[in-house]
């Protein structure tokens, strides 16, 4: 049975719950959109829920933001298809949604109040986009090159993989490969 994720914004005017087969917050994204819109310490984190199980209270407090993604040939602004929902009262980002993957929504772990399991492997993605003030984990003396290499934190045993861009493996595939997909 899928995990039930319960979440809310900071002011709790918006609360939600959603079922997830993929509840591990294992992917740290350093792209400029995730970094800036999440207001985080330099990265956003991705998990996934089933859109058809999403239950929301306080929908009237939700607004959607779509990030700029360059310029069209005619000079107009090009926007992402990814929509980030946030609370209009406290500005907490709640989840992302993309019509191209309508069966899933992507709650931000920062908005989840349920305990999330700890991942045994962390993927660091879009590492070429991170600003210089954001450090990557120091694991031994090796500096990751962003080519999918794996380094193990000797204190925690957590494995870290580093990618300059998005890896070929998606959220569901990662959960299945690592053996933590929740049926």
Q: What is the pLDDT of residues 120-134, one digit of tens each?
A: 999 989 888 888 888
What are the pLDDT digits (tens) for 22-78?
999 999 888 888 887 776 666 677 799 999 999 999 999 999 999 888 899 999 999
Residue 58 forms part of a structural domain:
yes
Residue 124 forms part of a structural domain:
yes
Residue 183 forms part of a structural domain:
no
pLDDT value of residue 146: 65
Please determine, for residue 141, whether its predicted confidence score (pLDDT) is greater than 50. Answer: no
What are the pLDDT digits (tens) for 103-119?
999 999 999 999 999 99
Other beta carbons within 10 Å of 154: 9
Residue 31 forms part of a structural domain:
yes
151 in Cβ contact with 47 (< 8 Å): no
Residue 79 forms part of a structural domain:
yes
pLDDT value of residue 42: 60
| β-bridge partners, 152 | 159
Residue 86 forms part of a structural domain:
yes
Please determine, for residue 86, whether its predicted confidence score (pLDDT) is greater than 80. Answer: yes
d(CA 120, CA 82): 28
Q: Which of 135, 85, 77, 127 has the alpha carbon at shortest distance from 106? A: 85
Q: Domain range for residue 158?
A: 3-178
Give the CATH number of the domain where residue 16 resides: 2.170.150.70
CA distance to 68, 136, 160, per residue, from 128 (Å)? 19, 11, 16
Residue 24 forms part of a structural domain:
yes
| Predicted structure pTM score | 0.86
Tally of structural domains, the chain = 1
Residue 154 forms part of a structural domain:
yes
| β-bridge partners, 163 | 147
What's the pLDDT band for 102 if we cut at 50, 70, 90? very high
């Amino acid at each position: 049975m899928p995990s039930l994720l319960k979440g809310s914004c900071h002011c709790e005017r918006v609360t939600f719950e959603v079922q997830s087969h993929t509840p591990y917050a294992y992917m740290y994204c350093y792209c400029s959109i995730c970094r800036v819109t999440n207001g985080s310490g330099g990265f956003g984190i991705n998990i996934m829920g089933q859109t058809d199980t999403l239950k929301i209270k306080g929908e009237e407090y939700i607004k959607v933001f779509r990030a700029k993604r360059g310029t069209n040939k005619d000079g107009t602004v090009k926007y992402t298809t990814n929509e980030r929902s946030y609370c209009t009262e406290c500005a907490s980002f709640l989840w992302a949604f993309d019509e191209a993957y309508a069966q899933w929504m992507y709650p931000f772990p920062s908005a989840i109040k349920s305990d999330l399991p700890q991942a045994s492997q962390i993927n660091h993605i879009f590492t070429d986009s991170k600003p210089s003030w954001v450090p990557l984990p120091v694991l031994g003396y090796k500096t990751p090159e962003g080519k999918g290499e794996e380094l193990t934190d000797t204190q925690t045993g957590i494995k870290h993989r580093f990618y300059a861009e998005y890896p070929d493996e998606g959220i569901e595939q990662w959960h299945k490969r690592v053996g933590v997909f929740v049926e």
